Amino acid sequence: MPGSPYISYQSRSSESVENVGVPYEDRPYHSDNIPPDWADDDASSAIVVSTDSCLQSKSLPSTGGFINFHRVWLGLAVTLACYNTAFMATLPLTAQYLTHRVAHDWYNFSNFSKEIPCTKEANTSATRTRDEIQKVVSSFSLLINYASSLPAILTCLPYGTLSDHVGRKKMMFIPLIGGFVRMFVYLLVVKLELSLNYLFLGSAADGLCGSYPAMSMISAAAVADITMSSGGRALSFAVIEAILIISSAVANLSVGYFIMYEGYFYPTVMMSGLALIAFLVAATVFPETNTERAKASANPLKHLKRIVSFYTFAGSVRRRVLYRIGLFMFFLNIVVSIGRSPVETLYQLNSPFCWNSVKIGIFGAIQSTVQITCSVMALRILKLRLQLESIGILALLCAIAGFVIEGFAMSDWMLYAVFRSMTYDLYVLIPGALFASLSVVDAVCGILSFTTYSSVYLSTVQWYRGTVFFVMAGICAVNILLFLAFKKVNTKFDYEEITCTVEPPLHSARVGKGGLHPQSNRAVNETR
**Phi and psi, residue 387, nearest 5°:** -75, 160
Q: Which of 36, 26, 35 is nearest to 318 (CA)?
A: 26
Please state, in angstroms and rounded to a whole number, the distance separating the CA atoms of residues 183 and 91: 12
The pLDDT of residue 297 is 59
Least confident of 176-180, 412-416, 490-494: 490-494
The pLDDT of residue 497 is 38
Strands (E), 53-194: 59-60, 67-68
Mean pLDDT of the chain: 74
Helices 340-349, 357-382: crossing angle, 10 deg rounding: 140
Is residue 186 within 8 A of residue 202, CB to CB? The reply is yes
Residue 279 has pLDDT above 60, yes or no: yes
* Residue range 294-331, pLDDT digits in tens: 555 556 677 677 667 767 766 677 878 887 888 888 88
**Phi and psi, residue 475, nearest 5°:** -65, -40
* Residue range 117-167, pLDDT digits in tens: 676 666 677 777 888 888 888 889 889 989 998 898 888 877 777 787 888
pLDDT higher for 392 or 229? 392
HSE-up (13 A, CA, CB side) for residue 219 = 30
* Residue range 405-432, pLDDT digits in tens: 999 998 888 888 775 544 434 433 334 4
Burial of 200 (0-12, 13-18, 19+ CB in 10 A): middle
The pLDDT of residue 178 is 96
Tell me the pTM: 0.70
Query: DSSP letters of 228-241?
Result: -SHHHHHHHHHHHH
Please state, in angstroms and rounded to a whole number, the distance separating the CA atoms of residues 399 and 422: 8
Percent of the chain clearing pLDDT 70 (strictly above): 69
CA-CA-CA-CA torsion sign (517, 522, 523, 528): negative
Residue 466 has pLDDT above 80, yes or no: yes
Q: Which residues contact 81 (CB under 8 A, 6 or more apart)?
A: 243, 246, 247
Percent of the chain clearing pLDDT 90 (strictly above): 24
Task: Sort residue 81 into left (φ over 0), alpha (ψ -120 to 50) or beta.
Answer: alpha
The pLDDT of residue 501 is 41
Q: How confident is the model at residue 230 (pLDDT cuts 50, 70, 90)?
A: low
Query: DSSP letters of 244-305?
Result: HHHHHHHHHHHHHHHHHHT-SHHHHHHHHHHHHHHHHHHHHTPPP---S--PPP--HHHHHH
The pLDDT of residue 62 is 42
HSE-up (13 A, CA, CB side) for residue 249 = 16
* Residue range 81-128, pLDDT digits in tens: 999 999 999 988 998 999 889 888 888 777 666 656 676 666 677 777
CA-CA-CA-CA torsion sign (124, 130, 133, 139): negative
CA trace torsion 316, 321, 322, 325 (10° rounding) = 170
Please state, in angstroms and rounded to a whole number, the distance separating the CA atoms of residues 183 and 88: 11
Residue 183 has pLDDT above 90, yes or no: yes
Residue 282 has pLDDT above 90, yes or no: yes
The pLDDT of residue 283 is 94
* Residue range 186-227, pLDDT digits in tens: 999 999 999 999 999 999 999 999 999 889 888 888 888 887
Helices 300-312, 432-460: crossing angle, 10 deg rounding: 80
H or E element in which residue 366 lies:
helix 357-382
Residue 391 has pLDDT above 50, yes or no: yes
H or E element in which residue 84 lies:
helix 69-105
Q: How confident is the model at residue 365 (pLDDT cuts 50, 70, 90)?
A: confident
